[in-house]
Structure 1
Amino acid sequence: MILNNNQITVTSPLLPDLNDFIPLLKDIWDRKWITNNGYYHQQLEEKLADFLGVPYISLFTNGTIPLLVAVQALKLGKDGRNEVITTPYSFVATSNILMWNNLKPVFVDIEPETGNLDPEKIENAITDKTCAILPVHVYGNPCDTAEIKKIADKYDLKVVYDAAHAFNVKQNGKSILTEGDLSTLSFHATKTYNTVEGGAIVCKDKETKDYIDSLKNFGYTSEIYITETGINGKLDEIRSAYGILNLTNINNAIAHRKYVAETYRKALKEISGISFFNEQKNVNYNYSYFPIFVDSSKYWLSRDELFTKLRDRGILSRRYFYPLITNFSPYENIPSASKENLPIANKMADTVLCLPIHHLISDKDLKRIINLILTK
């Protein structure tokens, strides 16, 4: 699809000012060090850890390899237990990384209030083969981390949070990225904060960070020693410099996303058949997405009809997450993937529509989007 000036995209990348970026590029050219833990890479790790309020952070070239490495770092499956409880309501990378690590995803249903894993259903799915829980903070909604921790401690399970949507989300003043054994981030161009492509693992101590840094660099521990079977997941200097500049813009971008979300909430709250998540108390959101749910028995269009109506008028929404992971062919024959086991996740996937939300949406854009939703 070719975009034109009248189209409103579902998201738009936060871009640093080109005039600010060029001097950093010149400096990178002068240094002649463009990857392998260079100056800007180290700077971005330090700045991100400070900005996010986390102890340590390890940068990656995208948001999927951190999940792969997190599983390796925690040695999941090495003790003979090979099942990981996870969500069907996510981007497919969440469960793909389990399959790549020869782990068996066990899908459980989600909470209708948040889209996140239901802790009660987590506990019911645990067997003697369960080694970990892999929840997702869906759309930046914090999971019930306290309850998940209780379950993990009770059954000696590791917890890896897929926090791809949760950049700078805080609960009770504390970063949710410090929950679990490890949390992973995505800095893809579609995310609230981006480094074009990129990602990270949040670590609680330097020993873990050093180990993860080795795993993402082929297993090197020194110039001539490889002690692990690692992978290449490093972030380069150009994207690191880009990320440093984007940190100076991110607060304003989040503030505007909040304004967009509040405008949608106010305009759509009384529309029969249109619903959305309520915000949790004491949470600072990043407003990465604004999903609505369309009940065609009360609203005059189905979700897909509304999607098409908006698209035909130049407004690009997204059915995210649809289809469910469990409806893709690599997963559909897993017993826990059955529709009977996942009624809430299936209903959410069949009714969700993410509306445009980003830092460039104008009041004119918002009025246009909302009027189309309100008009029969």
Structure 2
Amino acid sequence: MTTTDLARPAALGGTPAFPDGLPLTRVRVPDREALLQRIGAVLDSGQLTNGATVRELEERAAELLEVPHVVAVSNCTAGLMLVLQAAGVGQGRPVVMPGFTFSATAHAAHWAGGTPVFAEAREQDITLDVADAEARLKAADRPAALMATHVYGTPCQVEDLQAVADAAGVPLVYDSAHGFGSRRKGVPIGNFGLAEVFSMSPTKVAVAGEGGLVATRDAALAQTLRTGRDYGNPGDYNTLFPGLNARMSELHAAVGLAWLADLPARVAHRGALVEEFRTVVAGLPGLRLALPEAGDVSTFKDLTLILDADAFGLSSAELAAALKAEGIDTRRYFHPPVQRQQSYAHLGQAEDLPVTDRLADSVLTVPLWTHMDAATVRRVAEAVLRIQPYAERLRAAG
């Protein structure tokens, strides 16, 4: 192996940065022995649902989020569906939301009976553009709700969004799938809007295997959600409304409790890893990171690059191919944006969001795990660093 081999990108014959491969995510249980003991206790109890472990998870999550009510559900999408149903979304009424989000945001509104109306993303951090959302709410006929997403864990402009929702007379609901552990001006994400719904799927910072948590300050809503997650059954089988089977199992709650232990420290570690990456790539033309505003805290559920293809020399798709040759897994979250997906083609909104389209074309997520070390992050950043000077040759070779 020569110095030249090390300097040249793997796509042009150099030595791969990760010959054995580096996956985008890798899950490791924080305290395996404690988790196994807790799972054993659940199995010994003979009660696999509607038990004490779910209640303990809800209570611990409420403490961390500093909110009075947390309701555990089977997944984030089900939680969003139940919140929107409780908020009165239905009859095809418009629900304004970002186009740059995971499709489940729109799916939940659809299943609750609403019609998604997609709004633009902010240039700075790809969260919902407040002014554009406000304009679309004003233009909508009897809007039912405003939804926003803390993309990659970056907190939204919650104060401005609440003012817009209040002026329009609609509830504000957050898809906070990425946000458990994020903070807006010192306040935990989970405290804003009518409700915030978190995911605990395996790609998140707080994991239950599968599952979701709904945080709210509204006691009546919390009670409705507890009934709604059990088919709408208050306990006597005389269902009050058409609910869902959206209960979280005791086993998933046990896993979730393991991940909530020392969560703030793990979020801080992820932030330090992102800063390490940012320092290494500082000065590269046409590359920036999706970062929160000063004073805010992101979980950095994803470490996402935003590329100016002309200045960097490669598009996000081309950089992804070059990193694949280095053994580095990547994803283009979220591409295509929801308004361009086949499931919502019938709405005719595909051409409505030029900023969202451009940003979605520009993003590339690289590996970041909670237990990753700084040396690994540096190697990923250095791979990007050595690829960029060869951009013209890589483009020609491709």
Q: Within 2, Cα distance between the matches of 1:26 and 1:123? A: 51
What corresponds to 2:359 in structure 1? 348
The question of whether the paired residues in 1 share the 8 Å contact of 2:24 and 2:367 is answered with yes
Which residue matches 2:14? none
- For 1:205 and 1:107, how far apart are their aligned partners in 2? 27
Q: Deviations for 1:121-159, whole angstroms, at most 9, x for unmatched residues?
A: 112112232111111111112111211111211121111
Match of 1:295 in 2: 308
The 3 A distance-change label for structure 1 pair 238 and 6 is: same
TM-score normalized with structure 2 length? 0.88
Residue in 1 that maps onto 2:11: none
How far off is 1:17 after superposition?
2.6
Hey, what does 1:210 align to over in structure 2?
Answer: 223
Check the 8 A contact 2:65/2:191 in 1, yes or no: no
Matches within 5 A, 1:1-376: 6-35=20-49, 37-77=50-90, 82-126=93-137, 127-338=140-351, 341-375=352-386, 376=390
Whole-Å Cα distance in 1 between the matches of residues 19 and 289 of structure 2? 29
Distance in structure 2 (CA, Å) of the matches to 1:328 and 1:242: 33
One-letter identity of the residue aligned with 2:93: N
Moved over 3 A (4+): none
Contact 1:14 1:193 in 2 (8 A): no
Change (3 A) 1:240 1:307: same
* Residues 302/155 of structure 1: CA separation in 2 closer, same or farther (3 Å cut): closer
Q: Distance in 2 between matches of 1:208 and 1:266?
A: 44
State the shift of 1:270 in Å.
0.4
Q: Secondary structure at the match of 2:26?
A: coil
Identity of aligned residues (%): 26
Letter in 1 for 2:158: T
Counterpart amino acid of 2:22?
Answer: I
Query: What secondary structure sits across from 2:344 in the alignment?
Result: coil
Shift of 1:226: 1.9
Shift of 1:14: 4.3
Structure 2 counterpart SS, 1:220: coil
2 CA distance for matches of 1:95 and 1:56?
A: 25
More helix, by proportion: 2
Q: Secondary structure at the match of 2:243?
A: coil
Verify the 8 A CA contact 1:14 1:192 in the aligned structure 2: no
Report the TM-score, using the length of structure 1 for normalisation.
Answer: 0.93
1:195 partner amino acid: A
Q: Which runs of 5+ in 2 are unaligned?
A: 1-17, 391-398
Question: What's the CA shift for 1:305?
Answer: 1.4
Report the number of matched residues.
Answer: 368
